[in-house]
Amino acid sequence: MIRHYLFSIFFFIGIIVISIIFLPAFFLPQSVVLLGGKLMGYWAKLCLRIFLSSKVIIKGKENIIKNQKFFIACSHQSMFETFYLQTIFNSPIFILKKELILIPIFGWYLKKIGSISIKRNKISKDNLSFFDNISKVTTNTDRPLIIFPQGTRVLPYEKPPFKKGVSRIYQELKISCQPVAINSGYVWPKKGVKRPNKDITVSILKEIPAGLPPEEFTNTLQNLIYSELDLLN
What average pLDDT does the segment 59-83 reach?
A: 93
Residue 97 has pLDDT above 60, yes or no: yes
- Domain range for 57 is 2-232
| CATH number of the domain that residue 195 is part of | 3.40.1130
Q: Is 127 exposed, middle or buried (0-12, 13-18, 19+ CB in 10 A)?
A: middle
Return the pLDDT at 25.
66
Q: How many domains does the chain have?
A: 1
Return the pLDDT at 57.
96
Q: Which of 130-139, 184-193, 210-219 has the lowest mean pLDDT?
A: 130-139
For the stretch 125-181, pLDDT in tens is 455 567 777 877 777 788 899 999 998 899 999 999 999 889 999 998 899 999 999
Q: Which of 29-38, 111-120, 190-199 has the lowest mean pLDDT?
A: 111-120
What average pLDDT does the segment 209-214 reach?
A: 94
Rounded to an integer, what distance in angstroms lies between the CA atom of residue 91 and that of residue 144?
8
